[in-house]
């Protein structure tokens, strides 16, 4: 790795020590359908810390279900951790004196998922995920920012020294909001996409070096960018530089190829329709720009929008990417609500095994039990050169007791930096609009600058924005919709 990685920038740190034998985790979004299960597994398999997980959710019934499930897992013979779970009806009770605050919410899933995906499609914008960028990602940010301003204020009041671990999407917007509302917060934006890139590199090592597949932890990467649009300009394993090896691997028959829609929709993928990443977008971007994307192809195409042009969905499918339909998302949301009950009733087999998340390792390091290096999303204090100060960026960091110190990542090649900077500026525009009186017209400027929206005429983009705001009015109460010139000049908006 280059010399940039041993320069370290201003840390995020707390003065409040964590007692590993008496940890309080306040979980906001404690009725989580999926991520709470992962947390429960990881805690049950960890012997180094113990304590209480206090679950708060506006859907108290879901939090109660996760309380029952968490305690059920702890009673298993193969559970070595010592944790108790408790659902509460007060956010204050969950946060007060918390050592760690976990944020994992979806606000709300049903109406928003449908509108985020289906309205833009009527305008010829075929989003694959719609949670970070594009029309759906921006609308998600607009309805999420007010919620997280309130959460940040509650952290300031009830547990100002706690470590706040955010898994809520859009990660960049949420993390940026937490710091803008409460600058002294100790918050980290966390995502597993870079882990998938390390897994891909590990598979390439196995193939090219004819060795057993190494652990992803053995793959060192220099990460820089924004969440879901991160890039690796240096990678190594056991002293071997890996980016030239990726080039060699791509020359093998069958590695770089085209897919058909029928192939992608084969029944072998029926359990997860639209959740395939076949790395063809990754390989193409690496070929064109010389640095390796470190996010799944479904996310990448929403930033690198060449892949969303021309004849849809065929010209997207040829890259091995399927769009995730809103119908599947809604059905999955309903199905997941029953899963933990089915585990406890014996209707589904429960496997207590590691999930690949690093939540326990992270908490152990912050409690002083170990050190670790991982990737995090934090405001830029110099760790990512050429990025604006305070904008939230994703880079590597060293985690030690009560301290997270970002590692200077260097600079991306100018053509890639151009793409990343555009995303940062759009994200900052939406944040500024929210913190300047929830200015809808200024938010529209960020919306208009999004690469997906730039395929439209300005008046058409206005109508798309207005139609989405119109459909999502109940979730945009904090925004001054009625005072917006942009909305009021569009026939697609009718203030309720």
**pLDDT tens by residue, 27-69:** 999 999 888 999 999 999 999 999 999 999 999 999 999 999 9
Domain interval for residue 28 = 3-190
What number is the average pLDDT over the span 321-342? 77
CA distance 309 to 149: 36
Q: Within a domain: residue 63?
A: yes
Lowest mean pLDDT among 32-36, 162-166, 202-206, 277-281: 32-36
CB-based burial label for 71 (10 Å; 0-12, 13-18, 19+): middle
- At residue 171 the predicted structure's pLDDT band, cuts being 50, 70 and 90, is very high
Average pLDDT, the chain: 93
Directed axis angle between helix 440-448 and helix 414-435, to 10°? 170
Residue 341 lies in a domain: no
Instruction: Determine the pLDDT at residue 1.
Output: 40
- pTM assigned to the model: 0.95
Residue 237 lies in a domain: no
In a domain, 322, yes or no: no
Asked if the bond preceding 170 is cis, omega within 30° of 0, the reply is: yes
b/e per residue, 302-335, with b = 16+ CB within 10 A?
Answer: bbbbebbeeeeeeebbbbbbbbbebeebeebbee
338 band by pLDDT with thresholds 50, 70 and 90? confident
- The answer to whether 181 and 167 have CB atoms below 8 angstroms apart is no
Where residue 38 sits, what CATH number does that domain have?
3.90.1820.10
CA distances from 335 to 29, 61, 286, 400 (A): 18, 16, 37, 39
Residue 496 domain flag:
no
Number of domains making up the chain = 1
Residue 2 has pLDDT above 70, yes or no: no
C-alpha–C-alpha distance, residues 229 and 191, integer Å: 12
SS3 312: coil
Three-class secondary structure of residue 251 per DSSP: coil
133/170 Cα distance (integer angstroms): 8
Tally of CB atoms within 10 A around 257? 12
Q: What is the pLDDT of residues 409-450, one digit of tens each?
A: 999 999 999 999 999 999 999 999 999 999 999 999 999 999
pLDDT at 267 over 60: no
**If we measure between CA atoms, which residue out of 316, 270, 264, 331 comes closest to residue 114?**
331
The pLDDT of residue 328 is above 80? no
Higher per-residue confidence, 109 vs 307? 307
- pLDDT category, 181, cuts 50, 70, 90? very high
The pLDDT tens digits for 183-202 are 999 999 999 999 999 999 99
Query: CA 103, 18, 408: angle at the middle one, nearest 5?
Result: 70
196 inside domain: no
Dihedral, CA atoms, 360, 361, 367, 372, nearest 10 degrees?
A: -160
Residue with tokens 């206090």, as numbered in its chain = 54
Residue 463 neighbours by CB under 8 Å, 6+ apart: 123, 490, 491, 492
Sequence-ordered list of residues with C-beta below 8 angstroms from that of 30, at least 6 positions apart, any chain: 36, 53, 54, 55, 56, 57, 62, 63, 66, 87, 94
* DSSP label of 99: S
Across residues 97-114, what is the average pLDDT? Answer: 85
- Other beta carbons within 10 angstroms of residue 3's beta carbon come to 8
Rg (CA), the chain: 22
- Which pLDDT score is estimated for 450? 98
Q: Which tokens is 201 given? A: 């590199």
Q: Is-contact 345 367, C-beta < 8 A?
A: no
Cβ distance 447 to 138 under 8 Å?
yes
Q: Tokens in use for 421?
A: 């900077």
Question: Is the per-residue pLDDT at 6 higher than 60?
Answer: no
Ordered alpha helix ranges (H), 273-399: 280-289, 297-303, 314-317, 326-344, 359-366
Q: Are strands 229-237 and 12-13 parallel, antiparallel or unpaired?
A: unpaired
Catalytic residues: 192
Q: Are 33 and 405 in contact (CB under 8 A)?
A: no
Q: Compute the residue count for the chain.
A: 496
Residue 102 is assigned to a structural domain of this protein: yes
Which pLDDT belongs to residue 112? 82
* In-domain check, residue 293: no
Beta strands in 89-212 (DSSP E): 100-103, 163-166, 186-189
The upper half-sphere exposure of residue 213, i.e. CA atoms within 13 Å in the direction of its Cβ, equals: 9
According to the model, what pLDDT value does residue 5 have?
47
Q: Using one digit for the tens of pLDDT, what is the confidence trace for 201-241?
A: 999 999 999 999 999 999 999 999 999 999 999 999 999 99
Work out the pLDDT band at 250, boundaries 50, 70, 90. Answer: very high
- Of 231, 148, 163, which Cα lies nearest the Cα of 434? 148
């Amino acid at each position: 790795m280059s010399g940039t990685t041993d320069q370290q920038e201003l840390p995020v740190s707390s003065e409040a020590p964590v007692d590993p034998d008496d940890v309080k985790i306040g979980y906001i979004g404690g009725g989580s359908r999926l991520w709470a299960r992962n947390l429960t597994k990881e805690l049950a398999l960890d012997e180094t810390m113990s304590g209480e997980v206090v679950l708060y959710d506006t859907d108290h019934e879901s939090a109660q279900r996760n309380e029952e499930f968490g305690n059920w897992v702890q009673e298993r013979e193969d559970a070595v951790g010592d944790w108790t779970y408790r659902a509460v009806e007060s956010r204050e009770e969950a946060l007060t004196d918390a050592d760690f605050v976990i944020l994992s919410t979806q606000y709300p899933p049903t109406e928003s998922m449908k509108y985020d995906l289906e309205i833009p499609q009527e305008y010829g914008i075929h989003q694959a995920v719609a949670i970070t960028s594009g029309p759906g990602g921006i609308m998600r940010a607009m309805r999420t920012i007010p919620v997280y301003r309130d959460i940040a204020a509650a952290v300031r009041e009830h547990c100002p020294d706690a470590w706040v671990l955010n898994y809520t999407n859009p990660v960049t917007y949420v993390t940026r909001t937490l710091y803008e509302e409460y600058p002294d917060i100790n918050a980290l934006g966390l995502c597993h996409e870079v882990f998938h890139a390390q897994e891909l590199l590990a598979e390439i090592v196995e193939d090219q070096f004819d060795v057993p597949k190494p652990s992803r932890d053995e793959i060192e990467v220099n990460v820089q960018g924004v969440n879901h649009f991160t890039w690796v300009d240096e990678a190594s394993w056991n002293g071997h530089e890996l980016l030239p090896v990726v080039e060699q691997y791509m020359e093998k028959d069958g590695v770089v190829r085209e897919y058909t829609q029928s192939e992608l929709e084969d029944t072998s993928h029926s359990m997860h329709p639209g959740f395939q990443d076949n790395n063809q977008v990754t390989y193409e971007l690496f070929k064109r720009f010389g640095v390796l994307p470190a996010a799944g192809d479904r996310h990448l195409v929403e930033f690198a929008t060449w892949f969303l042009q021309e004849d849809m969905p065929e010209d997207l499918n040829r890259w091995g990417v399927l769009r995730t339909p809103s119908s599947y998302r809604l059905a999955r949301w309903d199905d997941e609500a029953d899963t933990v009950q089915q585990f406890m009733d014996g209707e589904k087999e429960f496997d207590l095994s590691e999930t690949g998340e690093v939540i326990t390792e992270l908490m152990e390091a912050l409690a002083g039990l170990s050190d670790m290096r991982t990737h995090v999303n934090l405001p830029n204090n110099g760790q990512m050169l050429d990025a604006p100060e305070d904008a939230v960026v994703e880079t590597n960091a060293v985690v030690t007791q009560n301290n997270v110190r970002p590692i200077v990542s260097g600079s991306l090649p100018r053509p890639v930096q151009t793409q990343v900077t555009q995303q940062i500026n759009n994200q900052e525009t939406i944040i500024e609009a929210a913190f300047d009186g929830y200015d809808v017209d200024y938010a529209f400027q960020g919306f208009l600058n999004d690469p997906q929206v730039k395929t439209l005429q300005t008046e058409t983009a206005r109508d798309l924005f207005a139609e989405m705001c119109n459909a999502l009015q109940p979730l945009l109460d904090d925004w001054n919709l009625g005072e917006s010139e942009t909305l009021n000049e569009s026939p697609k908006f009718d203030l309720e």
